[in-house]
C-alpha cells in the first residue's frame, strides 16, 4: 500500500468507567490515539444495507479502515474500542493483519446509529 493512500484521520476510542463523587458508575469514551487511515467500503458490499429485526428495519453502513501497524494499534480490540470518523462512531466488528503487506491492520466497523448501545463502545 502506498503511504499516500492513508489520507483520512480517525480516532480510536476506549470505553472506560468513571465513578462520580457520590459513587455512581458512568461509562464514557476516552480518546486513546488518532492515526491516518485508508477508508473504504467493505469489499463486495454496498455502502449500506438494511436489516430487519423485531419488525424494525434499519440501515447498516460497513467500512474498512486500513491503518499502520505499531505497538499501540496492536492493542485495539473489538470489545473495548470503537472508531470516531467524520463525526460518527463505528463499532469494530473485526480486526485482521494484512499478511500481504505485513505493516498494516484491516479494521472492519459498522456505523452506530443514535441511541444504539447507550452510545458507548
Domain limits, the chain: 3-119
CA-based torsion, 38, 43, 47, 53: positive or negative: negative
List phi, psi (to 5°) of 64.
-120, 130
Q: What is the pLDDT of residues 89-120, one digit of tens each?
A: 999 999 998 777 678 999 999 988 755 555 55
Give the containing element (helix H, strand E) for 28: strand 25-41
May I ask the CATH class of domain 3-119? mainly beta
- Longest Cα separation, the chain: 52
CA distances in angstroms from 118 to 2, 3, 29, 92, listed in the order given: 38, 36, 11, 16
pTM: 0.76
Amino acid at each position: 500500500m502506498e503511504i499516500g493512500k492513508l489520507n483520512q484521520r480517525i480516532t480510536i476510542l476506549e470505553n472506560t468507567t468513571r465513578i462520580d463523587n457520590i459513587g455512581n458508575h458512568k461509562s464514557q469514551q476516552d480518546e486513546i490515539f488518532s492515526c491516518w487511515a485508508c477508508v473504504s467500503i467493505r469489499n463486495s458490499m454496498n455502502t449500506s444495507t438494511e436489516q430487519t429485526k423485531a419488525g424494525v428495519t434499519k440501515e447498516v453502513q460497513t467500512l474498512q479502515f486500513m491503518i499502520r501497524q505499531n505497538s499501540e494499534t496492536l492493542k485495539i480490540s473489538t470489545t473495548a474500542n470503537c472508531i470516531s470518523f467524520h463525526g460518527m462512531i463505528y463499532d469494530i466488528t473485526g480486526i485482521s493483519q494484512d499478511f500481504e503487506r505485513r505493516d498494516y491492520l484491516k479494521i472492519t466497523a459498522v456505523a452506530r446509529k443514535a441511541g444504539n448501545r447507550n452510545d458507548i463502545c
